[in-house]
Chain A
Amino acid sequence: MSGGGRRGWLRLADVMVATLLGFFVFAPLAVLVLLSLTEEWGRAFRGGLTLRWLLEVPNAFGAAIAHSVLIAGVTMAATLLMSAMVAYGVLTRRVHGPILVDTLVMTPLTIPYIVLGLALILAFKAPPFRLHGTVWLLLIGHLMIAMPLGYRTTQAVMEATDLSLVEAARSLGASEWTAVRRVILPLIAPGLVAASLLAFVTSLQNYSLSFMIAPERYKLAPLEIFTYVFAETGAYSNYNLAAAVSLCMMLVLLSALGVVRWLTGQSWHENINV
Chain B
Amino acid sequence: MDAARALPRVGVTAPGRAASVAKSWIWLGLLLAPFLLFVVYPFAALVKTSVVTPTGAFTLRFYQDLFAIPRYLDKTWNTLAIAALTTTLSLLLGVPLSFYLWKRQFPGKRILVNLLVIPYMTPNYILALAIIFLFGQNGALAFALRRLLIDPEYRLPFNILFTYHGILAVFIFHSLTLVVFLVLALLAGIEPEYEEAARSLGASSLTAIRRVVLPMAVPAIAGAGVLVFSRVMVDYVVISLMGGYRYATLAVEVVNRYFGYLTYELAAALAVFLSTMTMAIMYGYLYWFRWRRRA
Contact = CB atoms under 8 A, between A and B. Distances in A.
Interface of A: 10, 13-14, 17-18, 20-22, 24-29, 31-32, 34-35, 41-42, 44-45, 82, 85-86, 89, 91-97, 100-101, 104-105, 107-116, 118-124, 140-141, 143-144, 147, 159, 163-164, 166-167, 170, 176, 205, 207-208, 211-212, 222, 225-226, 229, 239, 242-243, 246, 249-250, 253-254, 257, 267-269, 272, 274
Contacts of A45: 143-144, 147
Nearest to B20: A94
B116 interface: yes
Contacts of B129: 32, 225-226, 229, 242-243, 246
Contact of A119 (B4, B46, B100, B106): B46
Interface centre among B28, B42, B108, by most chain A C-beta atoms within 10 angstroms, is: B42
B45 A122 contact: yes
Given A144-B39, A253-B121, A253-B123, A32 B234 contact: no
B169 to A, nearest CB: 11
B122 interface: yes
A208 B11 contact: no
Contacts of A110: 275, 278-279, 282-283
A87 to B, nearest CB: 10
Nearest to A176: B11
Contacts of A20: 97
Given A25-B116, A92-B10, A225-B129, A82 B46 contact: no
B293 interface: no
B227 interface: yes
B118 A85 contact: no
Contacts of B119: 24-25, 28
B143 A42 contact: yes
Contact of A246 (B1, B36, B126, B282): B126
Nearest to A89: B27
A24 B112 CA distance: 10
A24 B176 contact: yes
A31 B24 contact: no
Given A31-B133, A110-B275, A167 B8 contact: yes
Contact of A122 (B1, B130, B264, B278): B264
Contacts of B139: 31
Interface of B: 1, 3-5, 7-11, 23-25, 27-28, 31-32, 34-36, 38-46, 49, 97, 100-101, 104, 106, 108-109, 112-113, 115-123, 125-127, 129-134, 138-140, 143-144, 147, 173, 176-178, 180-182, 185, 227, 230-231, 233-234, 236-237, 241, 251, 254-255, 258, 264, 267-268, 271-272, 274-275, 278-279, 282-283
A81 to B, nearest CB: 11
B224 to A, nearest CB: 9
B251 A82 contact: no
Given A114-B234, A163-B7, A269-B185, A28 B38 contact: no
B115 A92 contact: no
A170 B255 CA distance: 55
Contacts of A24: 116, 119, 173, 176-177
Given A95-B31, A205-B123, A114 B108 contact: no
| Chain A interface, >50% SS class | helix
B147 to A, nearest CB: 6
B24 A107 contact: no
Nearest to A14: B106
Given A14-B106, A104-B32, A163-B4, A257 B278 contact: no
A170 B8 CA distance: 13
A18 B111 CA distance: 11
A119 B108 contact: no
Given A24-B176, A250-B126, A269-B181, A122 B115 contact: no
A20 B119 CA distance: 13
B140 A34 contact: yes
B275 A115 contact: yes
28 contacts: A21-B113, A22-B112, A24-B177, A28-B118, A28-B173, A41-B143, A42-B143, A44-B140, A45-B144, A45-B147, A92-B9, A93-B9, A94-B23, A94-B24, A95-B27, A109-B282, A111-B275, A112-B251, A122-B268, A123-B44, A144-B39, A170-B11, A207-B237, A211-B237, A226-B241, A239-B138, A257-B117, A274-B282
Nearest to A92: B10
B231 A29 contact: no
B253 to A, nearest CB: 10
Contact of B120 (A85, A105, A268): A268
A116 B38 CA distance: 9
B31 to A, nearest CB: 5
A167 B116 contact: no
